[in-house]
Chains A and B, each alone.
Chain A
């Protein structure tokens, strides 16, 4: 991997009237890197992507892509980038091929080259069979694959992916992620991906910026981020207790070494604790209440834990409540069926 910065972001800021969606964000992305922006809905990830892909004008700050300013040289930037938006950028009444040909034609790619590329891309995502069907008839998974290959028509040096697996089933999500990896590996494409899913960020990204309330809270590799949590001598355990009671949970919570207890379902709890003897102390306290432990798992810290550790709240959409209503509406994906 080269170490040259492909994307350089400095103090990028976006204000919507009096609400600051993105607040002086700075980072850089190296050529060929997969960079993740992780955060809850409304944290400002989409706005960052929209600014970098020249769709939204920054209120303050600058960014360059391959040394081209995103505001001053927006047309040059556009030639270099591909965007996979949260919304599907496809016309329902056009066929798969017609859609790709239309978008490809906007990049002045010679006709024969474009046709060949379209066939290759369709084959790559196993949609060749449906090339002459209208996209409106496609399943969500198929549409999302179309959405991704659309962004690859101009063979971009930088690919922006905004929540590329949102609303997909696990199988489709897996396929899309594998595809993203493949593009990065084979074309050396620099990728910026936003997600609110920890697993996704962990799987794909070389480095992750955790975004909360329009600011980058932390930026590091997934491994280092996880060390942030485990380095603090943290134990995370997943317990299955057949006869779990609220009394039992309360007594665990009251232990000195325990940071938090969360109940996943009727028999599962997840305990965050500190200290060397945390493991023993917790099990003792459950035994004392006659709890029947059916399974114990000592978990590696996940990015979920990192997020909790850094921001003090979970990745769920708690940020939403802090946002003014009008802007909230602006940030949420809006789908409308004709």
Chain B
């Protein structure tokens, strides 16, 4: 069987599949809607630090003051309110004491609380540390962590201000050098490339990688097993064409579909969510195509094992979900426990998402992503080598 006729037949199969796809109106609409939904979901739901606003917080001032001196807690609250008007982070309601704050959190009226201890002023006056208790809602860990970080920041600012005021009373200390005395280090955070980072920068390359993977890993088995079920596959199998042409043709059609979706995601990410592409756009597409190559064998193996479309879909779903989460599409793999990290290192999607991220976010070129390229190509070759004979056998079962 000469390669030229395999290619010719593949193209005919691909054209036939795409014609069918284009005539399926509802399917086409879904094809476009899916990436839009996906991007909006992850984009708007996942919190970034700036997105925390108007969190309701209960404030209880139990400070009894210290004879004669103005209560230090009043100054604290004034500063807190100043900071809050700038950031608009909290909506503060008053509570009488710590236990009331706990009740308010339990009933869901507030999402956190701040309690100033009764000996706050007296501690400060006698040279001890004043204690402020931050109460968090354990049923909502994500929120509680964000709140902790934000409040810590506020308190630290306030602490610095207080310390600055204190040291200014010494001789040789003035307003200009007091900050350097209290806080000798200044930390500035800067990205590897200009521009601020957002969750979209992280997630957009991952979702593109995932969509391409889905198109060949669910699209291909679904398309082949559907044809097997309705019987049209026999029409191709009974013709004197190489079985490879059927796989290649179907893969081409699914790739076109996957790339269309990937491009849509890219456009959405740039237009709606302000993602900037630092690297070469052609390298991005080349990577997506390489991704198709490395997943396609896997999809074909699944097709060969599944008797019908339903089974194929079930196998795919079972495998896809762990892959999606373990490959660092939505969460960085560094967050995972070690055993999950080692699984994730065995998945090709991890490398595709990683390589895409490096190119899109960090502007990396070919030499930087060589390791990822080698893994993807290697995985593709191994899986295709397994897939072709398995498919041939399965089809003449």
Contact = CB atoms under 8 A, between A and B. Distances in A.
B87 interface: no
Contact of A91 (B232, B237, B397): B232
Instruction: Specify the main secondary structure of chain A where it touches its partner.
Output: loop
A62 interface: no
A270 to B, nearest CB: 37
B234 interface: yes
B267 interface: no
A107 B231 contact: no
A107 B240 contact: yes
Contacts of A81: 238
A28 interface: no
**8 shortest A-B CB distances, which residue pairs?**
A87-B231, A89-B235, A106-B239, A78-B240, A93-B23, A57-B396, A93-B20, A83-B238
Nearest to A136: B23
Contact of B16 (A102, A107, A108): A102
Nearest to B238: A83
A134 B239 contact: no
B241 A106 contact: yes
Interface string B1-13: 1000100010010
Contacts of B239: 78, 103, 106-107, 154
Interface in A102-120: 102-103, 105-108
B148 interface: no
Instruction: Specify the main secondary structure of chain B where it touches its partner.
Output: helix
Interface string A71-106: 000011011011101111111011000100011011
15 contacts: A54-B238, A56-B396, A75-B1, A78-B239, A83-B235, A83-B238, A85-B231, A85-B235, A89-B232, A94-B23, A102-B16, A103-B239, A105-B9, A106-B12, A335-B230
Contact of B234 (A76, A87, A102): A87
Interface in B15-45: 16, 19-20, 23-24
Nearest to A330: B307
Given A75-B240, A91-B16, A107-B239, 9 more contacts: A54-B237, A87-B230, A87-B231, A87-B232, A94-B23, A105-B12, A106-B236, A106-B241, A134-B23
B12 A334 contact: no
B19 A98 contact: yes
B373 to A, nearest CB: 36
Interface of B: 1, 5, 9, 12, 16, 19-20, 23-24, 229-232, 234-241, 396-397
A85 B16 contact: no
B240 A79 contact: yes
A308 interface: no
A54 B396 contact: yes
Contacts of B397: 56-57
A57 B395 CA distance: 9
Nearest to B241: A106
A88 B231 contact: yes
A241 B174 CA distance: 127
Interface in A52-72: 53-57
A130 B302 CA distance: 38
